[in-house]
Amino acid sequence: MAKPSNREKILTEGLRVVHEHGFAGASVRDIVHAAGVPQGSFTNHFASKEAFGLEVLDLYASRGRAVMGATLRDEALAPLQRLRAYIDARRDRLTQTGIRNGCLYGNFLAEANEHGEAIRRRVAEIFAETREAVAACLRAAVQAGEVPGSLDCNEVAGFVVSSLQGAILVAKAEGSAAPIDRFENILFSRVLR
Amino acid sequence: MAKPSNREKILTEGLRVVHEHGFAGASVRDIVHAAGVPQGSFTNHFASKEAFGLEVLDLYASRGRAVMGATLRDEALAPLQRLRAYIDARRDRLTQTGIRNGCLYGNFLAEANEHGEAIRRRVAEIFAETREAVAACLRAAVQAGEVPGSLDCNEVAGFVVSSLQGAILVAKAEGSAAPIDRFENILFSRVLR
């Protein structure tokens, strides 16, 4: 495997630093220090801190896409099992990266007024992409007869995406994954039936 | 009416500045400038920026409590009408303060690692208080026969609080209140029946 470039190190370690300290809270100095590269390297590779932020978001989203591929789009599972696997994977990922860090999308959004429109728009695009993947899974569940045909897949998918973000936010506040389990239980026992 | 003290001006205007720019993004200089008071006034009244942050949260929570009192605890309304009025009031408040600003609790939480444990704990307490008010409303709905007795009021109340926070977060991303309407529709048509 090729050695990671300084650019890759800045992004990988930068994502971790931004996830822990927030985007405003993570200084360029902290980021290059964590990456073990000279400070000049940052300005060589990124036109601005916002440009770096967008790439960090893309890196986080590419990991999120891998999770969606392995769950929501895994045709070896029945459709509702895919959705359950997706929520479980989000919870496990959160537990691994530290519940107290929460979701990077939510964190970026909370600060969104500070670092401009481009980052807010990118987060909205990622939510829309996730919503579409959930909606496709729900349409498959309708076809498989797992949920009633009357289910409005697009609306429920939007609801799943926002409620999961909220459960992750409250999990961050409580330092416990219980809000995600609660959301999952109510989703499957009351909404998708 | 007595003229507001410098302390009150710092809190009222500070809340607005923090809501717009995030807590890390709002400098003491911005806050005193918005309040129209001398910079020394801040350090006279607040031991630290974190102490100020906790008071800003309490001010925001006291407004939230007034909203809960006028909706969730309004016994002139049927229980489920109270819950609907509460969600509508949260949406209206968000629209008034700027959807792009989102909810101050979520914003503080997103940055929580940066400004310490006390703020995170305070937000968790406010969520727990809101959850208890929603649970009491749901218990009244069970008693009134508006929802089935099988409803686990505490669990559903936790779900309502987190899902509403999530809907507000996605509304911030999209710059539209549609996620809140979607949550409200699905809550009443699928969860509370």
Whether B72 has a pLDDT exceeding 90, the answer reads: yes
List the CATH number of the domain containing A83. 1.10.357.10
Q: Is there a domain that residue A93 lies in?
A: yes
Query: Residues A180-191: what's their mean pLDDT?
Result: 97
Same domain for A154 and A95, yes or no, is yes
pLDDT per position as a tens digit, A23-79: 888 899 999 999 999 999 999 999 999 999 999 999 999 999 999 999 999 999 999
Q: Is there a domain that residue A86 lies in?
A: yes
Q: How far is CA A44 from CA A12, A37, A39, in A?
A: 16, 11, 9
Predicted local confidence at residue B114, as pLDDT = 60
Domain, as residue range, for B87: 53-191
pLDDT per position as a tens digit, B33-56: 999 999 999 999 999 999 999 999
The shortest CB-CB distance from A173 to any of B127, B166, B169 is to B127
The shortest CB-CB distance from A172 to any of B21, B22, B112 is to B112
pLDDT per position as a tens digit, A73-127: 999 999 999 999 999 999 999 999 888 888 999 888 877 666 678 889 999 999 9
Same domain for A88 and A172, yes or no, is yes
Are the Cβ atoms of B167 and A169 closer than 8 angstroms? no
CB B119 within 8 A of CB B108: yes
Whether B12 has a pLDDT exceeding 70, the answer reads: yes
- Cβ neighbors of A129 (< 8 A, separation 6 or more) are A61, A65
Same domain for B34 and B66, yes or no, is no
Same domain for B2 and B95, yes or no, is no
Same domain for A11 and A65, yes or no, is no
Q: Is there a domain that residue A163 lies in?
A: yes
| B113 confidence band (pLDDT: 50, 70, 90) | low
Predicted local confidence at residue A117, as pLDDT = 85
Mean pLDDT over the full length of chain B: 93
Are the Cβ atoms of A173 and B25 closer than 8 angstroms? no
Tokens found for residue B148: 């089935």
Is B85 in the A-facing interface, judged by CB distances under 8 Å? no
Same domain for A42 and A61, yes or no, is no
Same domain for A102 and A67, yes or no, is yes
Which own/partner contact pairs does B112-116 have at CB distance under 8 Å and 24+ positions apart? Answer: B112/A100, B112/A102, B112/A172, B112/A173, B113/A20, B113/A21, B113/A22, B113/A25, B113/A100, B113/A101, B114/A21, B114/A22, B114/A24, B114/A25, B114/B23, B114/B24, B115/B23, B115/B24, B115/B49, B115/B50, B115/B53, B116/B50
Amino acid at residue number A57: L
List the CATH number of the domain containing A21. 1.10.10.60
The Cα A41–Cα A43 span in angstroms is: 6
Whether B115 has a pLDDT exceeding 70, the answer reads: no
Same domain for B131 and B158, yes or no, is yes
The Cα A133–Cα A115 span in angstroms is: 28
Q: Is there a domain that residue A51 lies in?
A: no
Residues from chain B contacting residue A22 (CB–CB below 8 Å) = 24, 110-111, 113-114
Same domain for B39 and B106, yes or no, is no
Same domain for B35 and B59, yes or no, is no
Q: How far is CA A85 from the centre of its chain?
A: 15
Same domain for A147 and A101, yes or no, is yes
Tokens found for residue A78: 């029945």
Same domain for B135 and B186, yes or no, is yes
Domain count, chain A: 2
Q: Is there a domain that residue A52 lies in?
A: no
Q: Is there a domain that residue A117 lies in?
A: yes
Chains A–B, number of C-beta pairs less than 8 Å apart: 164
Is A20 in the B-facing interface, judged by CB distances under 8 Å? yes
